[in-house]
Amino acid sequence: MQKFFFRFMLTSFLVAQVLFTIAAVDADSTKVTIQLNGFVNTQFFYDSRQIVEAREHMLSLYPKPAELDADGNDLNAVGNFNQLSMTSRLRLLVNGPKMMGAKPLAVIEGDFTGASNFENNSFRLREAYLRLNWDKLSLLAGQTWHPLDVPECRPSLLGLNTGAPFHPFSRHNQLRVEYRVNKITIMAVAASQRDFASSGPEGVSSVYLRDAVLPNLNLQVKYAGKNFLIGGSIDFKRLKPALFNEFGGQRFQSKSYVNGWSGNLFASFANNGWTLKSAFLYGQNLSEHILLGGYFESTIDDQQHTVIYKPTSTLNGWMQIQRQYQNWRFSFFGGYTANLPYDEAQAGRFFGRGQNIANIYRLSPGVSLRLGAFELGTEIEYTNATYGTIDNKGIFSDLVSFGNTRLLIGASYFF
């Protein structure tokens, strides 16, 4: 099964590269159309507790556990308020004449959230890709959403987290091949990492995937009916956490990798003003998607000078129901994620996100009003995280839960 999967993916990408080269021949680059769109967005938000977050609390994930001072007071039981406009966005689309029977498209999109909290309000690249579309086949190369994050079936929320840490949130450079047969689309992807990268001994970096000399591979199938979409995918990622291991002050070449298999199912249905969307994901080592989990050192052998790594697994699910009534949109979102027990015992360090969290759930109602290009909306986001003491097999004890309530008001003008 694994050999078939790898052969299918690699063959698809070799074919795609050849077709990209052929399609570029005799292109007429003088006849193009350029379209600029985007929106200006500003958000006000209040949190009842200190949270794990990004972008100056704009991207909310989950509440922090208790941190006690000398008098026994919880330092994280303090609220937080902010107002930001850095998610304002620009999107440029360039369409050109056909090349070898394919319609080309180039997309560049950016906003002002910067590459990190130190660069907030700086312009940063979100998407940049080119795509060739035939009647049944399309080829894409560049940076866009990872295939585990399906744009047609993702939470529609005012908050920047877009359903994280229950729904994957990441964009990657990739080579993508799509083939459509009637209402069925088969997609194969080979992806690298840049802004959203894995954790490891040197911190968060794309070097672990690069040193593995194998792209992140994904195979997806989806069926689109008149009012519904259903699909699923299987994903494989290999990392090389270290080039060498150090024992007794000496370096020894490392030949260890860590493999991660993930799979998801997703579905959406829309009819008569109602929309229902849901997705479920079993994931291994998906911290770069702003999900829980990662990998750990399972064996440290100072005689053979080797370190072996094993991935942790998580279960993730969410559902959203929406009702469109004239200019009003009402929605309710619910999400759940949990760390699963380990297949092998942990012997050393863990690399990833939220290892001491047993589970998280979120309940979030919202309402928005759309008047032409202007939209005003509000959401209440209650997120509860259960922390605990974890043993070397991933079993939790001494569980304690902490909740955060976020009130968000956002306004946008689209153009």
Q: What is the pLDDT of residues 237-274, one digit of tens each?
A: 999 999 999 999 999 999 999 999 999 999 999 999 99
Neighbours of 171 (CB within 10 A): 20
Q: By CB neighbour count within 10 A (0-12 exposed, 13-18 middle, 19+ buried), where does 189 fall?
A: buried
Task: For residue 408, give Cα distances in angstroms to 290, 377, 405.
Answer: 21, 8, 10
pLDDT at 119: 83
pLDDT of residue 131: 97
Closest CA to 379 of 369, 401, 364, 360: 364
Give the whole-angstrom CA distance, residue 396 versus residue 141. Answer: 43
Class of domain 2-414: mainly beta
Look at residue 23 in the predicted model and tell me its pLDDT. Answer: 47
Integer Cα distance of 253 and 249 in angstroms: 13
Residue written as token pair 């009842």: 48
Give the per-residue pLDDT at 31.
82
Instruction: Output the CA torsion 7→198→179→183 (10° steps).
Output: 130
* pLDDT score at 120: 85
Give the pLDDT of residue 1.
53
Checking DSSP bridges between strand 313-325 and strand 258-271, what pairing results, if any?
unpaired
pLDDT number for residue 25: 47
Q: Which residue has the tokens 């969290």?
A: 357
**Residue showing tokens 């990190």:** 116
pLDDT of residue 163: 96
Q: How much is the pLDDT for 16?
A: 52
- Residue 241 CA to residue 351 CA, distance in Å, equals 10
Please tell me the predicted confidence (pLDDT) of residue 88: 97
Roughly how many angstroms between the first and final C-alpha of the chain, as a whole number? 48
Residue 339: predicted pLDDT: 98
The DSSP bridge partners found for residue 37 are: 91
How confident is the prediction along the chain (415 residues), in pLDDT tens digits per residue? Answer: 555 455 555 555 555 554 555 444 444 555 889 999 999 999 999 999 999 998 899 999 999 999 999 999 999 999 999 999 999 999 999 999 998 899 999 999 999 998 777 788 899 999 999 999 999 999 999 999 999 999 999 999 999 999 999 999 999 999 999 999 999 999 999 999 999 999 999 999 999 999 999 999 999 999 999 999 999 999 999 999 999 999 999 999 999 999 999 999 999 999 999 999 999 999 999 999 999 999 999 999 999 999 999 999 999 999 999 999 999 999 999 999 999 999 999 999 999 999 999 999 999 999 999 999 999 999 999 999 999 999 999 999 999 999 999 999 999 999 9
Paired strand residues for 367: 330, 378
Strands (E), 240-302: 244-247, 250-253, 258-271, 274-284, 293-301
Query: Residue 219: enclosing H or E segment and its boundaries?
Result: strand 216-224
